[in-house]
Chain A
């Protein structure tokens, strides 16, 4: 399977703990996105990488959130001092530029469901 993979698929943690999620994009996709989705809502943009550079970060993202993509391949999203409001599905997507077009179709992973108790 050469799709986007995310690990873990489910995470239950206690308030105040730190959690880290991993995303492995499709090979050679140079663009990687993180989103958060809560029940009944559409995905909300968190951050975007082109290769290893983090080019955009949502104002919604507090200082407790950090993301990295150290070698331009896999990415990690860390949430420090988790709060109950962080409970959500965290989605990763990757894409690759298509020559001559200004749009890149995103391929989404299955998500990591975080529950903060």
Chain B
């Protein structure tokens, strides 16, 4: 499969806790993005990190990138019930227009 892998596949936490999900990819990348998908709003872009960056923040989101390990992580702090969704990483590489999505982490935040 061309897809990247994410772990865990599913995560259940209490509201207010932090959620961490990881993504591994297979080829050298230009950029890596994280998307959220729920039944109400479809797929929504959350945050981007470029290959020469190691960490990026946006609100309650923190993304890290380790190109030597071909992995990225997404941390959601102070989770809310509204964060319940599936989260996907997507990477782009030089010489192609493809976005390669991971298999996703299903996050459930319990109120």
Contacts and interface: CB of A to CB of B under 8 A. Distances in A.
Binding partners A and B? yes
A42 B88 contact: yes
Given A48-B98, A102-B30, A103-B50, A42 B44 contact: no
Given A105-B48, A108-B42, A42 B30 contact: no
A45 B48 contact: no
Interface residues of B, number: 24
B45 interface: yes
B30 A108 contact: no
B99 A33 contact: yes
Interface string B90-111: 1010001111111110000000
A2 interface: no
A28 interface: no
B11 to A, nearest CB: 15
Contacts of A25: none
Contact of A43 (B33, B44, B50, B101): B101
B30 A103 contact: yes
A103 B52 CA distance: 13
A107 interface: yes
Interface of A: 31, 33, 35, 40-45, 48, 50, 55-56, 58, 91, 93, 102-103, 105-111
Interface of B: 2-4, 30-31, 33, 42-45, 48, 50, 88, 90, 92, 96-104
